[in-house]
Amino acid sequence: MQRALRSRVLAALALVIPAVLLGAQPAHADPVSQTSGFYVNPQSSPAAWVAANPGDGRAAAIRSAIAQRPMASWFGNWSGDIAGAVGRYVAAADAVDKLPLLVAYNIPGRDACGGHSGGGAGSVAAYDAWIASFAAAIGTRPAVVVLEPDSLGDFGCMSQSQINERVGMLSRAVNQFRSKAPNTWAYLDAGNPGWIDAATMAQRLNTAGAAGARGFALNVSNYFPTGDNINYGNRVAGELRRYGYSKPFVIDTSRNGNGANGQWCNPAGRRIGTPSQLGGGAEMLLWLKTPGESDGNCGVGGGSSAGQFLPEVAYKMIYGY
């Protein structure tokens, strides 16, 4: 019992001290210190594939290297009743004293520039209601949530009125988690090192309510090396000081083991990266995109749809070929 308590205290200090050094003030109670590690979802797409294909020669490797690793679950317009879907997922993690990782991906005009993951809520009002239900479904249980991948990088494909609507939705979303989910750390997506310069991204984060979020997330569904993301994240955090505050950041390391090759949509030769952990140069390194899930009908995922689990892609990603 004493060892477990000591471990939790040390884990909490590991997160709080960097945040203080950055000038960030934690908005909520620390969900990491309230749990005994990250949640492994037994119903993830790789876990479901392994369960359905036990005799496949790739199953053992996919099970041990991917399905048994903590990674995020994504929620969007495919999730049906969002309160029920989020509530069940967070409750399952809470029942085993683990910290769930969630990605909210339902903003109107989603993936405006990429196009492979288009869709989202049908209106601003629909999104506001959806994200309010999302936050309320978590309630007082501990969680980590990444808000709306691509949303602050896609401005080049949007009109000014659409941009204004989007940053308003994101800012209100941050406030929903502050008010309805006091033990959740919410991170606004901030793209990746190869997309938007740090000063511009900091300005966008600020208009989208970053002051009220725990921090920002980098490299979601992309392949840039962890070191590149750390450098970029530190630059963005520094630029945020222009607005009177700074924030910690997390990095998606699920598919960056071989770095990037200039392509973002199912490039060949990628590899799984560092499993989810505290620290590592950021507040956390997290598997946010599920290795083996397609980016869309492109690259080595030709003929697939975004989010579809491709066992051959997953298998090759374990070994980097």
Both tokens assigned to 266: 């199912």
Catalytic position from the list 150, 154, 189, 252: 150
* Residues 6 or more apart whose Cβ sits within 8 Å of residue 22: 237, 246, 247, 248
To the query of whether residue 295 is one of the catalytic residues in this protein, the response is yes
For residue 302, the number of C-alpha atoms closer than 13 Å in the C-beta half-sphere is 3
Q: Which residues are annotated as a binding site for substrate?
A: 74, 195, 222, 264, 289, 293
According to DSSP, residue 99 is labeled B
Is-catalytic flag, 150?
A: yes
Burial of 2 per CB tally in 10 Å (0-12, 13-18, 19+)? exposed
- Reduced to 3 DSSP states, what percent helix, strand and coil does the chain have, rounded to the nearest 5? 45, 10, 45
Q: Which residues neighbour 150 within 8 Å (Cβ) at sequence distance 6 or greater?
A: 110, 111, 112, 113, 114, 117, 189, 191, 220
Annotated binding-site positions: 74, 195, 222, 264, 289, 293
Q: Where are the beta strands (DSSP E) in 4-127?
A: 73-75, 101-104
Pick the catalytic residue from 111, 228, 252, 295.
295
In angstroms, the CA 200 to CA 239 distance is 9
Q: Which residues are catalytic?
A: 150, 295
